[in-house]
Structure 1
Amino acid sequence: MKRVILKQFIPFRQKLVVVTGLFFIGTLLNDKYNEFLGVLFYVLGILFFFVNYNLVITKGFLNYYQFRIFNISLFKIKKELLFPDYVSLFNQSFVQSNHVGFSPDILGDSKYRLYTIKFFKGHKNEILFTSKNRVEVVKLGTQLSTMFNVELHNTLK
């Protein structure tokens, strides 16, 4: 195995914030300057809903984020990771604040649990992947531990 691809998830809320900003800029440009630029920002906003990215971890440890749209690779960005002493899989709780403008407590917090893959190096750790799918996390964690010949700590059994 030469590489493991971890498909990352961009939350809808984050996409919505970016698209709203692009639409707002498009509206301003469309009204004041150039209709072409306004339409361009509208199109970019619509296309942004179809953007996703993967974390690609290679056996040579040349890791990168690969950004894609409609399954076509757009560009890559190098990603520095801890080389693991061991790989850990477990169920983790997350809290996301739902702040709106100047009223931070209006919607409260969202709490949820996800399965995670972490690299541990000494006392440091790094979350590589989160998912609601336990089987997917076990499969990818096993592939990573096999590829780097390190121990797998699986608490999901």
Structure 2
Amino acid sequence: MVQYQPPTSQIVVMFLISFILLGYQVSFEFNKAYKNKRLLKLFGIVVWSSKLDSLFPDYIKIYSGHYKQDSEFGPVSALGNSRQYGFYAVRFFKGNKHFTLFKSTRMEEALSKAKELSALLEVELLDR
């Protein structure tokens, strides 16, 4: 057997990369004046903020969607040849354009976020 001890620097770099990947999060911040921001967070602490260019909505809608993923190869293929996912998305609509803000697998969570945004921006919420 070959015994190999990786250098300490390699271990430290791999630990830092995995630490960053585990705590990385992108979120949006909306306010009444519509000065929106895209936030890059690391374990809940904002490390980067930039202006978010999004359209001011005519209305907000909760969109339900389903998609199917084929799994012809790999370990999932032994369980079946496809998997289905369901989600609910909160979207801003301006004419025929939309901007997706939030996705969840739970309708209650998406509905509460949409109601908060609708009240904040004073825009109509279409939930059905």
TM-score past 0.5 threshold: yes
Larger radius of gyration: 2
Counterpart of 2:104 in structure 1 is 131
Equivalent residues, number: 117
Counterpart of 1:115 in structure 2 is 88
1:5-57 CA distances to partner (integer Å, 9 max, x unpaired)?
A: xxxxxxxxxxxxxxxxxxxxxxxxxx7xx853x34431222211122222112
Counterpart of 1:142 in structure 2 is 115
Seq. identity, % = 24
> What is the TM-score of this pair, normalised by structure 1?
0.63
Counterpart of 2:3 in structure 1 is none
Counterpart of 1:45 in structure 2 is 17
Map 1:1-157 onto structure 2 (within 5 A). 36=9, 38-47=10-19, 48-96=21-69, 105-106=72-73, 110-155=83-128
Counterpart-to-counterpart distance in 1, 2:65 and 2:57: 19
Counterpart-to-counterpart distance in 2, 1:136 and 1:39: 40
2:57 is paired with a residue of what secondary structure?
coil
1:95-153 CA distances to partner (integer Å, 9 max, x unpaired)?
A: 4566xxxxxx5256643110110100011112111001211111110111111111110
Cα distance, 1:80–1:95 mapped onto 2, change above 3 Å: farther
Unaligned runs of 5+ in 1: 1-30, 99-104
Larger CA deviation: 116-125 vs 63-72: 63-72
Q: What CA RMSD, in Å, does the superposition of the two structures yield over aligned residues?
A: 2.4
Counterpart-to-counterpart distance in 1, 2:26 and 2:93: 23
2:33 is paired with a residue of what secondary structure?
coil
Higher helix share: 1
> What is the TM-score of this pair, normalised by structure 2?
0.75
